[in-house]
Structures are given as structure tokens and as C-alpha cells.
Amino acid sequence: MFCVPRVWCREVGFPVLLIIVVGLFCYANSLHVPFVFDDDSSITENSQIHNLAEFCGPAGYGYTPRRFIGYLTFAVNYHFHGLDVAGYHLVNLAIHLGCALLVFILARMTFQTPWLRNSSLGPRAGWLALFAALLFVAHPVQTQAVTYIVQRLASLATGFYLLALVAYGRARLSQERWGRDFSLPIVLWYGLALLAAGLAMKTKEIAFTLPLAAAVYEFSFFRGRVGKRWLFLAPLLATLLIVPLSMLGSGQSVGALLSDVNEVVRETETIGRGAYLLTQFSVIATYLRLLILPVGQNLDYDYPVFHSLFVPRVMASLLLIFALLGLAAWLYGFRPRGRAINPAPEARLIGFGIVWFFLALAVESSLVPIRDVIFEHRLYLPSVGVFLAIATAAGMLWRRHPGRSVPVAAMGVVLALALATWQRNLVWGSLESIWGDVTAKSPAKARGFKGLGRALDLTGKSAAAVVAYQQALRLDPTMYKARLDLGVSYLEQGRYDAALAEITRAVQQAPGDARAHYNLGLVFDRLGRLDRALEEYHRALALKPDYKEPLFNLGPVYGRLGRVDQAIDYLTQALRLAEKYGYDQRESIHYNLGVAYDLKGWSAKAGVEYKRALALRPDYGEARRALANRR
């Protein structure tokens, strides 16, 4: 009978199980959190991912060469789950648990490296690795990268990033163990590191720093001839080219390409490099505060942009950054004037954690201006370094003060963080809740009120939605999407004149927005102004050829105008699109196609379409009556 060694159970099995259990507890109440914010443009309204076979070909890669792997996972989710959010959340949670396990493996593995192999913390390495992983999996600041579905891009890129570093470390440890440069295990581990690095960089641009992190890890914890070590690092360093090459030919600025959302705030569009960097000094201090004291979390911060170094908040933040970098240098054993010291070997792991934090933030918190200056999910990868540093410091404290006080306190911290994560996920529980939280914390920011208005509209609270949209427009009259949503709200209430006025203004503000033209067409459709409706539907399709709503509406409008041949043509196109992507409106298209065939006198073909409509929706009264009237 096969027996698992007790040592393995204690040092590996139990920690892995505990990490998974804590993670499941933290996110058990997040599986039905709705699509929010950029989930719509990236998933629900993104026809590019609605056909997995097509996305796996040139069209899918051409759509997003920079983040192909991340969007491929959305295409797989859509293929199997459609718009059922539970499937997406399960994948996000699995990625988060995988990242936490990789944090555990990385921390534990680091104590097997030449630098830490004989550390006095070695016997506590398993506990230290477990504490770091539990901090990672339980911390509420991670919710935005886990619960907010589209930010899987951040968590998945982090997973590949960690996997690449672990694989690289295993390859180097195999070299140390076998005393040779190449063997099958070394080649396999190194190949996995290169593969994971490539996947990370094709998931999100934050992975650009991965080869540099590997170099820092190499020179922090391994030994050997410098030239030989650089040679071993060279293929991994070559992957630095992947991200910039993927960005070439996009026609957009680097900041726009790195932007996390499509819903852009006007005030942040014109930040210069200098102002962005100065602002990031303060943002980094905010990130550190969130990691130490995670209160006041916000999906959409109303963060000030700074233009002077001599603002007290900016200066204090810069001094904090310099202090941390100085501490990292001291922990690595360096003093001013080149005089070296010899701190405890494990102190270098704290220094490495600090370096990791700043290195991982370098893409999004440096000189490249990004439209939104702060988002919590940008902390997902950098937090690994902070948690490694905290866990190592706790281990050193435990060595100095043996007993149960340190581990008990550590577990108390993990429990408190897990409860905070559970509570934060309750806020994510509904669109009204999360946007209500945003507007309470960012009352001067228009985007939150626009989101709240949409949430209220979806729950039938039209009057309250109108108030929210109007507040958004008071804060930012140029936010045409809030004006458009206000017009749509009026339309759904039957207030056609008000809807026409608002949507017309939205079209004037953004003549290139397909959704604005579609909704203007919808108003004309409801008003019976069918020629104008056709005009706007066609404009919407010209701007966005795969836009299903105007295509689905063109056939019935042509039919009402008596232009039956054109009605059949557009209904056939609509049916082809619906079948290609599995859209729900197929039954109504079949019904309308049957009506058009009846008008042409094609009785048999009409009957087939009515039956197809009923097969898709047995309670479809119009189709049933049309079929009955033919007998």
C-alpha cells in the first residue's frame, strides 16, 4: 500500500491544503459577482471572443497580439459558460490559488539556494513560506485582481511570472546539485521558464520586468562566475523584446496600450510624463499603506495629479521610497563609500522583496503616463515582494522570540485579512453596491455616478438612475456615455422626446460611437420614423460591422416598410451572426424571417422558420399563433 511520508504531509501537504482552504473561504461569496466596468467591453459586448475557433486563428491574435493569452482564456470561458459569471469567477479563483501556491514554492525554494542554504531560518522556511502565501491569498487588496473578472489579465500574468521564476530557480538548483551545466532536468526546467515568460508577456505588459527579476534573483541567491551566469540568463533576457515588439504598429501611445479600462476619465487623458511620475510617488505610498492597512479600498479612486515635487505629500512619499531603497541596499550588505557589512543571510530576502516591489511596479508607476493613475489590481504582482519581506521579518522575529506568540499573531493577521476580503467581496456583490461604494468615496468623480446610473437602470430603478446620470453630467458635461445612458433610460421609460434630445447630443459629442448611433436609430424606430431609424442603424454597422443589435433590427424595419427582399437579406445576415456566436435572439430572427417569407408568399419556408423559433423557445406565442393560422 502506498504511504505518503509524514514529513511531506507536514511540510508540503498541510500548507498547500491550508492555502487552498483560506482562499476558498475568502472568495466563496464572489462566484456570482456580476460583470462590472470593463467586463462589458472586454467580454459581454466583445464579439471577438464569442467564437473560440475563430479566436484561436489569425483573427484572434490580430485582435490583441499584446494580450492574446489572457483574452484566449475569456474566449474559452465564453465557449463553455456563455455569460454565466460563475464559470469566469471559478477560473479567476483557480488562478489566484495557483499564484498563492507559487508564492509558497518560491519562498521555500529560495531557502535551498546557496545564499540561504545554511541560514538559521532554514528550519522555519516552511512556516515562513506558508505565511507569505497566506498573506497573498487572504489580503483584501487582491480582490480587484480576482473578483473583477477582466483583471484576470493581472493575476494570470503574475501566475506565469512566478512560474517562470520558480522554473528558473529549479534549473539553477539542478545545476548546483548535479555540478553540470546541462542535463535533462535542467533543460526541462529552463524550457519551462522560457515558455512561462513568453506566456506572461502575451498576457499583460507588466511581465516586461520578469527577466530583470530573474537576474536580481540570480545575483541575490546564487553564486558562480559572473560571465557564465549572464550567459545562462541571456535567453531569458532576450524575452524583453516580446512586449515592445507586440506594441509596434498599434498606432496608440504606450500609455493608452497600458491603460486598464476603456471608460476614460477626461482629467487624466493629458497627464505629462513629469506630472505622472510625481503623482506615482504618492500613489506608491498609497499602495504601501493599502498593503499594511487595507482600509478605504475603492474601485475607482478620485486621485489628485501633482505637478510639483515640493508638495508635502509628494516629498514625503519620495523620502519614503528612498528610505526603502536605502534599506534594501543595507540589507544586501552595502554601506556608503563602498564599505560592506555582513547582515544575516536571510536579511537579503527582505531586501529582495523590496526590490521586487519597485521592479514589478516599474511598468505602470514610472514615466509612462497611463490614463488612470491608480488601480488596486496593479498591486497584485508587486505585493509578492512585500509579503515575502514581511514573512521573512516575522521569521527573524520568531527566531529572536521563540514560543507561540509570533506564529499565533501571524495567523491572527491572516484571519483578519481573510475576513476583510470576505467583507470586501460583499461590496462587489452587485453593481449597485460596488458603484454606490465608489460614489460614496469619490463623490466628485463622474465615472462612478455613470456606473451607478447603469446599475440602477438594470434593477428597474429608472428615476434614481436618471438622477445618477444627471449628477455625472454635472460633474463632467463632456462624458457623452453618461448622456447616452441617460437617453437610453428615457427611452426605456417611454419618454421619447427626452431620449431623442439626449441621444442626439451624445451623437454630436461622439459621432464615431456606434452604440450612440444605434440608440438614436432605436428612438426613431419607436417613434415610427423608420427611414431615419434605418439611416442610424446603417451608420452604427459601418462603424462596427459585427454590431449585432442594429443588424438584428434592420430586417424587421425593412419588413415594416414593405421592402421584403431587403428584410430577408438582413434577417439572413443576422441569423448567420447569431448562429456563429450563439446569441440568444435567434428565435426572434427565425420568427421575423417567417413573417418575411409569408409576405413573399413562400408558405413552406415560413412554416419552417416558425417551427425553428418554437424549437428554441416553446412559449413563443407569436410564432405559435402564426403557425396555427396557417392550418
pLDDT top residue among 401 and 447: 447
Model confidence band, residue 600 (pLDDT cutoffs 50, 70, 90): confident
> Which three cell numbers, joined as nine digits, stand for 492?
426605456
Task: Name the residue with higher pLDDT: 164 or 180.
Answer: 164
Report how far apart, in Å, the C-alpha atoms of 94 and of each of 21, 155, 216, 485 are.
12, 10, 29, 35
Distance (Å, whole) CA 405 – CA 407:
6
**Close Cβ partners of 534 (under 8 Å, ≥ 6 residues apart):** 521, 554, 557, 558, 561
In the predicted structure, residue 67 carries a pLDDT above the cut 80: yes
Residue at 50: amino acid letter: H
Question: Is 60 exceeded by the pLDDT of residue 269?
Answer: no
**Amino acid 630: pLDDT:** 67
How far is Cα 242 from Cα 228, in angstroms, rounded to an integer? Answer: 24
What residues contact residue 212 under an 8 Å CB cut-off, 6+ apart?
A: 240, 359
Alpha carbon distance 511, 480 (integer Å): 10
DSSP per residue over 553-621, as a string? Answer: HHHHHHHHTT-HHHHHHHHHHHHHHHHHHT-TTHHHHHHHHHHHHHHHT-HHHHHHHHHHHHHH-TT-H
pLDDT, greater one: 249 or 98: 98
Residue 195 grid cell = 515558455
CB 320 within 8 A of CB 288: yes
Give 464: exposed, middle or buried? Use CB within 10 Å, 0-12, 13-18, 19+. middle
Spatial distance between the Cα atoms of 290 and 376, rounded to a whole number of angstroms: 9
CB burial of residue 384 (10 Å; 0-12, 13-18, 19+): buried
Mind listing the pLDDT tens digit for each residue in 80-114? 999 999 999 999 999 999 999 999 999 999 999 99
Segment holding 389, helix H or strand E: helix 382-400
What's the mean pLDDT in 337-363?
Answer: 86
Residues 6+ apart with CB under 8 A from 454: 431, 435, 465, 485
State how far the Cα of 364 lies from the Cα of 357, in Å rounded to an integer.
12
Cβ neighbours for 628, distance < 8 A, ≥ 6 positions apart = none
Comparison of pLDDT for 216 and 548, the residue scoring more: 216
**CB–CB of 146/96 below 8 Å?**
yes
Q: Return d(Cα 550, Cα 46) in angstroms, integer.
A: 15
| Amino acid 264: pLDDT | 41
Amino acid at 404: R
At 268, the pLDDT band (50, 70, 90 cuts) reads: very low
Q: Please report the pLDDT score of residue 265 as a whole number.
A: 37
pLDDT above 90: residue 365: no
What DSSP letter does each residue of 366-387 carry, written as one string? SSS--SSS--GGGGTTHHHHHH
Class of domain 431-578: mainly alpha
Tell me, what DSSP letter sits at residue 209? G
- Residue ranges of domains in the chain: 6-35+83-248+269-427, 431-578
Residue 58 makes CB contacts below 8 A (sequence gap 6+) with: none
Residues 6+ apart with CB under 8 A from 563: none
- pLDDT confidence band for 252 (50 / 70 / 90): low
Q: What burial letters (b/e) apply to 400-438, b meaning 16+ CB within 10 Å?
A: eeeeeebbeebeebbeebbebbbebbebbebbbebbbbb
Handedness of CA 340, 342, 343, 346 (dihedral sign): positive
Higher pLDDT, 335 or 34: 34
Residue range 120-144, pLDDT digits in tens: 898 899 999 999 999 999 999 999 9
355 by Cβ neighbours in 10 Å (0-12 / 13-18 / 19+) ranks as buried
Residue 520 has pLDDT above 80, yes or no: yes
Which range among 7-21, 225-239, 277-291, 413-427 shows the weakest confidence by mean pLDDT? Answer: 7-21
Q: What percent of the chain has pLDDT over 90?
A: 69
